[in-house]
A and B are shown apart, each in its own frame.
Chain A
Amino acid sequence: MIKVYVPRDTVALAKGADRIALLMQAEAKARHCEINIIRNGSRGLFWLEPMIEVETAKGRIAYGPVTEDDISTLFDEGFLSGKATHKTHCGLTEEIPYLKQQQRLTFARAGVVDPVDIDNYKKHNGFQGLKIALAQPAQAIIDEVKRSGLRGRGGAAFPAGIKWQTVHDCEEQQKYIVCNADEGDSGAFADRLVMEADPFMLIEGMIIAGLAVGAKQGYIYLRSEYPNAHQILNEAIDSAYQNNYLGDNIQQSGKHFDLEVRLGAGAYICGEETALLESLEGKRGVVRAKPPLPAIEGLFGKPTIVNNVLTLAAIPYILSEGGETYANYGQGRSLGTMPFQIAGNVKQGGLVELAFGITLAELIETFSGGTFSGRPMKAIQVGGPLGAYLPKEQWNTPLDYEAFSAIGAVLGHGGIVIFDDTVDMLEQAAFSMEFCQVESCGKCTPCRIGAVRGKEVIQKIQAGQNIEENKALLDDLCETMLHASLCAMGGMTPFPVQSALEQFPQDNPQLQPEKV
């Protein structure tokens, strides 16, 4: 039987993967070919989805993007034996430059395995980290995480080991591990890829976190816009329970860990950790003032680790290969790898896992394939809707937390959104304020009212009204939001707004004659 891989990833599904799998099975039957279709995850090369793979003696051969219309010609042209004539033929998957040039640690299994096949996971080094963790005292696990230099991948980049240590050191009996899977940044999809392509890795990471801090209950707070990830996570969790990786006495270790998925209700702000905790408790998703830190008084007032999907997903590798191995990647205080997510007006959108340190320009050059429109790139927004817009002059900045911070930008969750030269940066500035208006929880005044006024002031500038006064007012407002907001939502909205205005002077009406 020939193994054929048809991804069940959301992007592939959106482009018809389910129907392709069905038709392909039917076609094979009609042609009396015996094939075994495996629904793997995506490799993250979204511009090639649906990317079908065929297992051959030489390795897996990729075809993509495949449409329904391609099916009969694929068979005609011998794709089952990996023949190269079909127009969608990409050669050996591992040799596709987009993939080959990456440093895949966290995403090593993505697209390779069936996401809900636990044996397959084990065959691909799955649960090796857990095995080591179970054999160690809790402090040793935390020390390993500290050695890795892993910092929170959600955006704030707080050292994971220190957070874990804080929770570990709390004397409370009840503690929680909460995985922040409310991936709402524009252009971000790495969390989804973990959950849809390799969910056992996340489960393993959370179990290890539980062992490290003494928590017996975990929750994955998943955005409701990810129904496919929800489905796959639940299948994987069921399987983990059935195979004694969750529940009582995990692998006869005497340890216990329960895990469940909770769905959000469509609020961006619930990706902010304290609003997430409120929502998880069944309340309105509003931001809590800190202190107390969630590590000390988190979910239901108990010590809680809130880590992003990517942070927890990095843990199994760190445990199995050692913190130092992980720390050998990256530079300075930005150690390990980061899954950059290339999106926006771009030809080759997808996930690129690389060690920190490559410049933005190199990354774009190597992987993006240029804009989708074919026009020149003008601006890149890194780190989600609260990240700064970077002009070409800044693209040579290394992708590194400190280097980005130095230019008033953020790496955030690693989302990279590309704009071509038709973009109106004043419009983008107004949009940033509008985004804040729509997504603000409404608790603090600078964000609740400031975002609305910000949008209005920019509109006045766009309309050419009292440009000087309104620009001064906008500066004042940005300063107010930056310094006085309760959380990063209001506090970071000035980043895209001010970068759009200051870094793109050609769009700045100050230089244009005042409209009458």
Chain B
Amino acid sequence: MVEIFDPKSIDYNKDYGTPPVQSDTLITLTIDGRDISVPEGTSVMRASALAGINIPKLCASDNLEAFGSCRICTVQIGGRKGFPASCTTPVEEGMQVTTQNDQLAKLRRNVMELYISDHPLDCLTCSANGDCELQDMAGAVGLRDVRYGFEGESHLNAKKDTSNPYFTYDPSKCITCSRCVRACEEVQGTFALTVEGRGFNSKIVAGQNDSFLSSDCVSCGACVQACPTATLMENTVIEQGQPEHSVVTTCAYCGVGCSFKAEMKGDKLVRMVPYKGGQANQGHSCIKGRFAFGYATHKDRIQHPMIRDSINQPWRKVSWDEALNFAAQRLRSIQKQYGRESIGGITSSRCTNEETYLVQKLVRAAFGNNNTDTCARVCHSPTGYGLKTTLGESAGTQTFESISSTDCMLLIGANPTDAHPVFGSMMRKRMREGATLIVADPRKIDLLKTPHQSEVLHLPLLPGTNVALINAIAHTVMQEQLQDRSFIEARCDQSAFQKWRDFIIKDENSPETMEEITGVPAQDIRKAARLFAKAGNAAIYYGLGVTEHSQGSTMVMGIANLAMATGNIGREGVGVNPLRGQNNVQGSCDMGSFPHELPGYQHISDDKVRASFEQKWQVALDNEPGLRIPNMFDAAIAGTFKAMYIQGEDLAQSDPNTLHVEKALQSLECLIVQDIFLNETAKFAHVLLPGSTFLEKNGTFTNAERRINRVRKVMPALGGKEDWEVTMALSNALGYPMHYNHPSEIMDEIASLTPTFKGVSYEKLEEVGSIQWPCNEQYPDGTPIMHREDFPIGKGNFAITSYLASEERSNRRFPLLLTTGRILSQYNVGAQTRRTHNQAWHDEDVIEIHPSDAEQRGIKSGDWIGITSRAGQTVLRAAITERMQPGVVYTTFHHPFSGANVITTDNSDWATNCPEYKVTAVQVEKVSQPSEWQQNFHAFNQQQMELLKQGHKKRSKKVTLS
């Protein structure tokens, strides 16, 4: 009987040796007497593995192209001479393959004997003991003796490289299979590793025989994962030994949402290994998800609830009950004194969907108002608004996988190799395959320097001129008649299109007119338009460089307009794709975190919608949208807003105009912060509730492709409660009952109230791995690609996107434009990554400046530089780089002491109040000491750390007795 290979039967814990091949043609062959049919192009090795016949192998791995170097996987094929390698031999119709006989056994044993003649015999004390493919294969081929002896030439004395804090390179154990080098090239796309020398002297080296740390290595871990021996090994495994069980879960860093196997010893996490079955990351990872998990057990973790009456007092360690009652009592008394609307809550884009849902439910049902908002306010709120207006749904349209059919990528205001590294690697792979890349960014980002890239075009626009640029591109499309007429006719609202066409074709939008505004030569804009419109499959990817502007929402709509005008919506390889910053930004937005929207983007003023929630929640809901974060700050300073419950969010560091934020926080009478650390915001708090990390709870995250991934608990919550349990307890303390035994029950409630989540359940997630919403009767298996047939609003809606210059402009006093971004090794405000070895790569924020701007001011690399804006001043070290364009400076905001947001202003998006982080007019000059704010920050920080220490010392007597 012929076994037909079934793609669904893939076991992601098994290595099939070579990658899967897509083909409609099936080839039938016979392996060891068994007939099997596999897609044309499949290797003999993979076909065998699919048939359950496991051919020995060392250099092959199913995430790497076949290489054919180890010669362990040789087979015999009827009618052919010799012993072909099964990994590099494609199947052929009627092929008769023998994988085991005496001749093959001898050949494999003799090759293995050669390997072991240059390998230490320290298996029992080796860090890979129990997880070593060399050991397994030596066993499989039955090697019993090394007749060559061990006195010959060898690499046994080769020196270790321990420069990387996460893994050790021990060349004495290397079998030169090149899996690490190939992983660095094919999977990660960095090309940091190579083989130096030839023959017996071949040695894997980083860079030009640099140390791993000083080389181009980005520490993604792909090489460590690929290594079949102990040559590249996680230090945690070297120190602790092999893990004994593993749990598949989802990374809590960026919006890519990588699946990992958390490999455990009891409840101790030994290592995180990217999971091949993860549909977002497909077995790849970055330095953060792979290695930077040490924060979870860092000594700074808040482990006990604490309270205090004022922020000048020491913290008091108390019981959960006391803390929650203290909080509830304060909230209620404030409401009594200042009114129902005087309190609010902030949901977290780092917490799970279920937790976010509960916080907004707490606000709406228990606080009795709609004063709920989330950190998406300061990142992707314009995406929600802009995409909903034009395409009818507040979400990206594609899967990440879709990029494998993209011919032209237009990347705007995003830096994937730093901020979304795993997706950055997918982009690089596609660039190596020939796709064109257009980057609209003030800086020369690393993606523009991709090894073996195809055509790239950089449009180095001035910060704040996105809309001018996108309009000029769209203008070119229409003027040169490059639009997709049939798509526009069939899929878009004609009257809106006509209005837009009349608008965009105006000369004021032409590349020639916009050249002066954007700083991008007209011919380059035209070239970009042609590349994009004529590509076939063109996709737009964008990040916070689009949204965090006064015209953020306008730009999002401009992007959607361009995609519709060129017919690049509704199939593989195209689409509009926001790259979400945090792990669950998509989810926190989906879950009704915004003051005007209930879960599933259902408007609070919609009576029918509200009624369904009121019935389920058994409470009357306010039909008026509540306060947004900046409104809360203003109201706090004005004295009408008095208390906040903030879950897993650090407004004091991440929100713009720090001085203003600090003043608002100081004005609160009750600030309840639930976090894993004493973050900057918590220093202004009265109640501190221990948060739980993603390792300590169950739930779901939704990534940038709308993919709902399971988060699974691998260790108990350090503070005793998972975040959803804390919100539940606070609600109960406030007198609004919440009772859930498990987050799956919360998801069931979400599904019952949210049309786009109707088909989502933990049961289904267990079955299929992950689901991309909408998932309901219409799309029972979820929706990988959106808008295939039509838009949720019926026809696509072209929006008018007039360019208006930001008020934040350079002038004589502030002649430079500051823009902000991220770096690979650090994440967001750095609360997690600063408490890991990632500090080895980036332990302070610097200001990047072009050599000519630096020279004019007598600035040298490493000088202390004062950066002054209308809002404030801070001091950072200078890094001089031609990555910048003259007139633009850049910094990151990963370190609180940097005070990057002291200088950002309170300008914001006209539609959503998303702050204009990306444009601040500044002047820079050499200085000799930190800014006044930094000095104050330092003093305040010292004081608060001391108050925390006092709290840790003694437990309040009152509490112990109660």
Which chain A residues have a beta carbon within 8 Å of chain B's beta carbons?
267, 269, 284-286, 289-291, 436-453, 456-457, 469, 473, 476-477, 479-480, 483-486
In the bound complex, what is the Cα–Cα distance between A291 and B87 (angstroms)?
Answer: 11
Contact (A291, B90) CB under 8 Å given A444-B68, A484-B74 = yes
Query: What is the chain A residue whose CB lies nearest that of B175?
Result: A445
Do A442 and B114 have beta carbons less than 8 Å apart?
no
Do A445 and B200 have beta carbons less than 8 Å apart?
no
Contact (A446, B176) CB under 8 Å given A290-B88, A484-B74 = no
Residues from chain A with Cβ under 8 Å of B202 in the complex: 442, 448
Residues from chain B with Cβ under 8 Å of A291 in the complex: 88-90
Query: What is the chain A residue whose CB lies nearest that of B153?
Result: A452
Do B199 and A484 have beta carbons less than 8 Å apart?
no
B666 to chain A, nearest CB (A): 61
B27 to chain A, nearest CB (A): 15
Do A442 and B111 have beta carbons less than 8 Å apart?
no
Residues from chain B with Cβ under 8 Å of A269 in the complex: 198
In the bound complex, what is the Cα–Cα distance between A85 and B44 (angstroms)?
Answer: 73
Do A284 and B118 have beta carbons less than 8 Å apart?
no
Q: Is B26 an interface residue (CB 8 A)?
A: no
Set A438, A441, A456: member contacting B153, Cβ < 8 A: A456
Residues from chain B with Cβ under 8 Å of A449 in the complex: 114-115, 117-118, 200
Residues from chain A with Cβ under 8 Å of B839 in the complex: none
Which chain B residues have a beta carbon within 8 Å of chain A's beta carbons?
66-72, 74, 82-83, 85, 87-90, 107, 110-111, 114-115, 117-118, 147-148, 152-153, 175-176, 178, 194-195, 197-202
A294 to chain B, nearest CB (A): 14
In the bound complex, what is the Cα–Cα distance between A438 and B198 (angstroms)?
Answer: 8
Residues from chain A with Cβ under 8 Å of B107 in the complex: 479-480, 483-484
In the bound complex, what is the Cα–Cα distance between A479 and B82 (angstroms)?
Answer: 11
In the bound complex, what is the Cα–Cα distance between A126 and B107 (angstroms)?
Answer: 52
Residues from chain B with Cβ under 8 Å of A483 in the complex: 74, 82-83, 107
Do A443 and B69 have beta carbons less than 8 Å apart?
yes
In the bound complex, what is the Cα–Cα distance between A439 and B202 (angstroms)?
Answer: 11
In the bound complex, what is the Cα–Cα distance between A124 and B604 (angstroms)?
Answer: 94
Do B70 and A445 have beta carbons less than 8 Å apart?
yes
Do B194 and A451 have beta carbons less than 8 Å apart?
no
Set A448, A479, A486: member contacting B200, Cβ < 8 A: A448
Query: What is the chain B residue whose CB lies nearest that of A491?
Result: B82
Do A442 and B201 have beta carbons less than 8 Å apart?
yes
Set A438, A456, A476, A477: member contacting B199, Cβ < 8 A: A438
Contact (A473, B147) CB under 8 Å given A445-B111, A483-B82 = yes
Query: What is the chain B residue whose CB lies nearest that of A443?
Result: B69
Query: What is the chain B residue whose CB lies nearest that of A453?
Result: B148
In the bound complex, what is the Cα–Cα distance between A473 and B201 (angstroms)?
Answer: 23
In the bound complex, what is the Cα–Cα distance between A39 and B553 (angstroms)?
Answer: 76
Identify 17 residue pairs between A and B in the complex whose beta-carbon atoms are under 8 Å apart, listed by A's number: A267-B198, A284-B195, A439-B198, A440-B199, A442-B197, A442-B198, A442-B200, A444-B70, A446-B71, A446-B111, A448-B199, A450-B114, A469-B147, A473-B147, A480-B111, A483-B107, A486-B69
In the bound complex, what is the Cα–Cα distance between A80 and B463 (angstroms)?
Answer: 82
Query: What is the chain A residue whose CB lies nearest that of B196?
Result: A284
Do B71 and A486 have beta carbons less than 8 Å apart?
yes
B64 to chain A, nearest CB (A): 13
B299 to chain A, nearest CB (A): 46
Set A289, A441, A450, A469: member contacting B198, Cβ < 8 A: A441
Do B176 and A448 have beta carbons less than 8 Å apart?
yes
Do A453 and B114 have beta carbons less than 8 Å apart?
yes
Do A437 and B199 have beta carbons less than 8 Å apart?
yes
In the bound complex, what is the Cα–Cα distance between A285 and B110 (angstroms)?
Answer: 26
Residues from chain B with Cβ under 8 Å of A284 in the complex: 194-195, 198
A interface majority secondary structure:
helix
In the bound complex, what is the Cα–Cα distance between A473 and B195 (angstroms)?
Answer: 30
Residues from chain B with Cβ under 8 Å of A476 in the complex: 110
Contact (A442, B199) CB under 8 Å given A480-B110, A480-B111, A484-B83 = yes
Query: What is the chain B residue whose CB lies nearest that of A283?
Result: B194
Residues from chain A with Cβ under 8 Å of B83 in the complex: 483-484
Do B195 and A442 have beta carbons less than 8 Å apart?
yes
In the bound complex, what is the Cα–Cα distance between A469 and B68 (angstroms)?
Answer: 31
A476 to chain B, nearest CB (A): 6
Do B198 and A440 have beta carbons less than 8 Å apart?
yes
Residues from chain A with Cβ under 8 Å of B175 in the complex: 445
Query: What is the chain B residue whose CB lies nearest that of A267?
Result: B198
Residues from chain B with Cβ under 8 Å of A456 in the complex: 148, 152-153
B911 to chain A, nearest CB (A): 48
Residues from chain B with Cβ under 8 Å of A469 in the complex: 147
Do B176 and A442 have beta carbons less than 8 Å apart?
yes
Contact (A437, B198) CB under 8 Å given A445-B71, A452-B152 = no
In the bound complex, what is the Cα–Cα distance between A451 and B176 (angstroms)?
Answer: 15
In the bound complex, what is the Cα–Cα distance between A217 and B89 (angstroms)?
Answer: 30
A261 to chain B, nearest CB (A): 23
A291 to chain B, nearest CB (A): 7
In the bound complex, what is the Cα–Cα distance between A476 and B83 (angstroms)?
Answer: 16
Residues from chain A with Cβ under 8 Å of B152 in the complex: 452-453, 456
Set A289, A437, A452: member contacting B68, Cβ < 8 A: A289
Query: What is the chain B residue whose CB lies nearest that of A284?
Result: B195
Contact (A451, B89) CB under 8 Å given A479-B110, A480-B111 = no
Q: Lowest 3 A-B CB distances belong to which pairs?
A: A289-B68, A442-B202, A440-B199
Residue with the highest number of chain A CB atoms closer than 10 Å, among B89, B152, B200: B200
Query: What is the chain B residue whose CB lies nearest that of A484?
Result: B71
Residues from chain B with Cβ under 8 Å of A451 in the complex: 199-200
Query: What is the chain A residue whose CB lies nearest that of B58?
Result: A445
In the bound complex, what is the Cα–Cα distance between A438 and B68 (angstroms)?
Answer: 21
In the bound complex, what is the Cα–Cα distance between A485 and B200 (angstroms)?
Answer: 14
Query: What is the chain B residue whose CB lies nearest that of A470?
Result: B147
New A-B contacts (10) at CB < 8 Å, excluding given A289-B68, A449-B117, A452-B153: A290-B88, A440-B199, A440-B200, A444-B69, A445-B175, A446-B111, A456-B153, A473-B148, A479-B110, A483-B82
B512 to chain A, nearest CB (A): 36
In the bound complex, what is the Cα–Cα distance between A439 and B114 (angstroms)?
Answer: 18
Contact (A441, B199) CB under 8 Å given A291-B88, A448-B176, A483-B83 = yes
Do B88 and A289 have beta carbons less than 8 Å apart?
yes
Query: What is the chain B residue whose CB lies nearest that of A268?
Result: B198
Residues from chain A with Cβ under 8 Å of B178 in the complex: 443
Do A446 and B114 have beta carbons less than 8 Å apart?
yes
In the bound complex, what is the Cα–Cα distance between A486 and B88 (angstroms)?
Answer: 11
B402 to chain A, nearest CB (A): 24
Query: What is the chain A residue whose CB lies nearest that of B89?
Result: A291
A439 to chain B, nearest CB (A): 7
A442 to chain B, nearest CB (A): 3
In the bound complex, what is the Cα–Cα distance between A444 and B175 (angstroms)?
Answer: 10
Residues from chain A with Cβ under 8 Å of B72 in the complex: 445
In the bound complex, what is the Cα–Cα distance between A476 and B111 (angstroms)?
Answer: 10
Residue with the highest number of chain A CB atoms closer than 10 Å, among B66, B82, B199: B199
In the bound complex, what is the Cα–Cα distance between A196 and B111 (angstroms)?
Answer: 44
Residues from chain B with Cβ under 8 Å of A486 in the complex: 68-69, 71, 85
Residues from chain B with Cβ under 8 Å of A448 in the complex: 176, 199-200, 202
B29 to chain A, nearest CB (A): 16
Residues from chain B with Cβ under 8 Å of A477 in the complex: 110
A223 to chain B, nearest CB (A): 16
Contact (A444, B71) CB under 8 Å given A453-B117, A476-B110, A480-B111 = yes
Do B69 and A484 have beta carbons less than 8 Å apart?
no
B45 to chain A, nearest CB (A): 12
Do A480 and B114 have beta carbons less than 8 Å apart?
yes
In the bound complex, what is the Cα–Cα distance between A473 and B145 (angstroms)?
Answer: 12
Residues from chain B with Cβ under 8 Å of A439 in the complex: 198-199
Residues from chain B with Cβ under 8 Å of A446 in the complex: 71, 111, 114
Query: What is the chain B residue whose CB lies nearest that of A289?
Result: B68
Residues from chain A with Cβ under 8 Å of B74 in the complex: 483-484
A228 to chain B, nearest CB (A): 26
Residues from chain A with Cβ under 8 Å of B87 in the complex: 289
A463 to chain B, nearest CB (A): 12
In the bound complex, what is the Cα–Cα distance between A469 and B147 (angstroms)?
Answer: 9
A116 to chain B, nearest CB (A): 35
